[in-house]
Structure formats: C-alpha cells, structure tokens
C-alpha cells in the first residue's frame, strides 16, 4: 500500500529522468545493458536521492554496467479482479493507460545489488485511492455480512421458538420450518432469510435433540411423574388415549417439542401398566 507521503515525482520529472539515465550513465563510462537483476540490497528512491548521486555510486562501487528499464501502466491489469470500482477511479486509471509509471536503474558492484527507482506521483495517488476504495468496499461487505448473519439468526431463533414448528412431527418438520422462514422473508433479495432457509432445519433439529436428550437423562423420574398424573391413571388401560397423555406430557417437559413416533412407542412400552 502507498500513500501521499511516499516519494514520487511528476510525470514531466519522470520523463526527464528516463531520458537522462542512459546518457548520464554513458557519460560516467558505464555501459547501459538490458538485464534482469535480483531484488536490490541497496535501494535509492527519487526524488530523495538524485539520479546523478545514484550513478556516482554505481561508478564508485565498480559496476560493470547499468540496466535502465521503464514500467508502463496497464489500466486493465491494475483493476483486474477488483469488484465495485468507483467510476471516477476507473476513468482516472483509463486516462493513464500506457503512461510511464516509473523507471528502474539497476547495477551490481562488489557483489551487492543496487537499484535507483523513480515513481510517478499520479501512480502513487491512484494506488492509494484504489487501496482506500477497497478498504471501503471491504468494510461495506463486512457490514452487509454482519447484517445478513443477524437477520438469519433472528429468523432461526423465531423458528425455534415457534409453537407450530415445535409441535410438528420430527420427520416432517423440515418443510414446516422452511415455510415458516419463507413466510417472513422480506423479498427475493433477503439474503439473511436465504441463509436462514439453509441453516434453520439443522438448528431446529439440534434444539429438538437437545431437549429430548435432557429428558432421557431423567427417564425414570419422567415415567414416575407420568404415572402420577390423574389423566394417565384414568386412561392407562386405553393405549391410544394413554399415548396422547404421554405425548402431551413429553411436550410439556421439553418446551413444546413433539417426539418421534419411535420415542413415543418406546416410552409408552416402559410406562404402560402391567397386565
């Protein structure tokens, strides 16, 4: 990332440096050769260091040659993979397409690599503006994501708390949950509701399983309390009616969650009176 405190030169100054670099190097007895050099161990930056001073260093360290290269701006590459680029930034980048962004003068002397680098102020400013734009876009996406997650959690909790959802049979509860979420979705663009639609059935199942896991941990006490009920004693010889009492009692102990048919059958078998 760069900002307006980073060293940079005007476009005219950059052109002047590029035009002079090869001439000044030759004037000092240095050959100018195209070369690919590794990252520099010593780095000079214009305008804090002048081109003349940098080339004098090249002579003093015994450089065999210098390499002078330019960097050209590619607006499409600069904005590649960037989402939601502001129109002003896109236009500014397009206006500099093909312009020189900087120059490199590099050499090696005494086993040490050196580079003199000059960058255009407009490139520095454009890079800083892009970074700021991306930070703003990232923060906007983060705010949207937090809002979507909060919306999803709200709808999921409402589904968990709903009496109709809890009372639905476990094997057929998923479509009930989905219908509940859809009925509360604001629009097709309600992203939070979309997340809730995906996650709510699983979360509802977790809550239901947790409720019955706790009930099963005190199964003996639950059965004893069931048998103490007046309606169970009155109907205990009627299997269908007895199971309705068991169902109602189980739901009252679990916050309204309906059990599976298997659970109901198993508990009725353990609590039924001996013949």
Q: Tens digit of pLDDT for each residue in 155-207?
A: 999 999 999 999 999 999 999 999 999 999 877 789 999 999 999 999 999 99
Is residue 82 domain-shared with residue 151, that is, in the same domain? Answer: no
Is residue 254 domain-shared with residue 211, that is, in the same domain? Answer: no
Omega before 47 within 30 of 0, i.e. cis:
yes
Q: Taking residues 206-231, report their average pLDDT.
A: 95
Q: Are the C-beta atoms of 66 and 58 separated by less than 8 Å?
A: yes
Q: Is residue 4 part of a domain?
A: no
Cβ count within 10 A of residue 16 = 14
Q: Is residue 133 part of a domain?
A: no
* Strand positions, DSSP E, the chain: 31-32, 42-45, 65-72, 100-109, 112-119
- Please tell me the distance from the alpha carbon of residue 259 to that of residue 245, in angstroms, as a whole number: 13
Is residue 49 domain-shared with residue 112, that is, in the same domain? Answer: yes
Is residue 27 domain-shared with residue 99, that is, in the same domain? Answer: yes
- Please tell me the distance from the alpha carbon of residue 108 to that of residue 114, in angstroms, as a whole number: 6
Q: Taking residues 80-96, report their average pLDDT.
A: 86
pTM of the model: 0.60
Is residue 97 domain-shared with residue 153, that is, in the same domain? Answer: no
Domain extent, residue 232, equals: 218-271
Is residue 209 domain-shared with residue 222, that is, in the same domain? Answer: no
**What is the three-class DSSP state of 174?**
helix
Q: Is residue 247 part of a domain?
A: yes
Q: Are the C-beta atoms of 113 and 37 separated by less than 8 Å?
A: yes
The domain boundary residue, chosen from 71, 87, 119: 119
Q: Is residue 59 part of a domain?
A: yes
Is residue 181 domain-shared with residue 201, that is, in the same domain? Answer: yes
- Please tell me the distance from the alpha carbon of residue 152 to that of residue 237, in angstroms, as a whole number: 47
Is residue 93 domain-shared with residue 31, that is, in the same domain? Answer: yes
- Please tell me the distance from the alpha carbon of residue 168 to that of residue 161, in angstroms, as a whole number: 13
Cβ count within 10 A of residue 107 = 29
pLDDT exceeds cutoff 80 at 16: yes
Q: Is residue 127 part of a domain?
A: no
Q: Is residue 138 part of a domain?
A: no
Is residue 29 domain-shared with residue 109, that is, in the same domain? Answer: yes
Is residue 199 domain-shared with residue 222, that is, in the same domain? Answer: no
The domain boundary residue, chosen from 192, 215, 238: 215
Is residue 31 domain-shared with residue 97, that is, in the same domain? Answer: yes
- Please tell me the distance from the alpha carbon of residue 246 to that of residue 239, in angstroms, as a whole number: 10
Is residue 65 domain-shared with residue 158, that is, in the same domain? Answer: no
The domain boundary residue, chosen from 174, 196, 215: 215
Q: What is the pLDDT of residue 158?
A: 96
Q: Is residue 134 part of a domain?
A: no
Please give, one letter per residue, the 3-state secondary structure of 115-152: EEEEEEHHHHHHHHHHHHHHHHHHHHHHHHHHHHHHHH
Nearest CA to 127 out of 157, 93, 178 is that of 93
Q: Are the C-beta atoms of 28 and 58 separated by less than 8 Å?
A: yes
Q: Is residue 228 part of a domain?
A: yes
Q: What is the pLDDT of residue 2?
A: 45
Q: Considering the chain, what percentage of its residues have pLDDT values greater than 90? A: 78
- Number of domains into which the chain is organized: 3
Q: Taking residues 122-146, report their average pLDDT.
A: 88
- Please tell me the distance from the alpha carbon of residue 53 to that of residue 246, in angstroms, as a whole number: 94
């Amino acid at each position: 990332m760069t900002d307006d405190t980073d060293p940079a030169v005007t476009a005219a100054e950059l052109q002047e440096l590029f035009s002079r670099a090869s001439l000044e190097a030759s004037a000092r007895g240095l050959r100018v050769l195209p070369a690919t050099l590794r990252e520099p161990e010593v780095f000079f930056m214009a305008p804090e260091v002048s081109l003349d001073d940098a080339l004098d260093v090249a002579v003093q360290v015994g450089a065999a040659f210098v390499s002078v290269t330019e960097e050209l701006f590619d607006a499409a590459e600069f904005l590649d993979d960037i989402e939601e680029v502001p129109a002003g930034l896109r236009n500014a980048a397009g206006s500099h397409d093909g312009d020189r962004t900087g120059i490199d003068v590099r050499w090696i002397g005494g086993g040490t690599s050196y580079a003199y680098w000059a960058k255009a102020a407009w490139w520095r400013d454009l890079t800083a503006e892009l970074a700021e734009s991306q930070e703003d876009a990232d923060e906007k996406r983060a705010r949207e994501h937090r809002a979507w997650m909060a919306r999803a959690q709200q709808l999921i909790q409402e589904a968990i708390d709903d009496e109709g959802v809890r009372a639905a049979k476990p094997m057929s509860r998923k479509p009930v949950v989905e219908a509940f979420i859809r009925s509360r979705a604001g629009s097709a663009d309600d992203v939070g509701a979309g997340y809730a639609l995906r996650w709510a059935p699983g979360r509802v199942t977790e809550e239901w399983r947790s409720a019955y896991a706790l009930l099963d941990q005190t199964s003996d006490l639950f059965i004893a309390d069931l048998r103490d009920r007046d309606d169970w004693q009155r109907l205990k010889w009627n299997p269908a009616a007895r199971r309705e009492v068991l169902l109602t009692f189980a739901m009252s102990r679990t916050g309204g969650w309906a059990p599976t048919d298997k659970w109901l059958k198993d508990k009725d078998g353990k609590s039924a009176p001996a013949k």
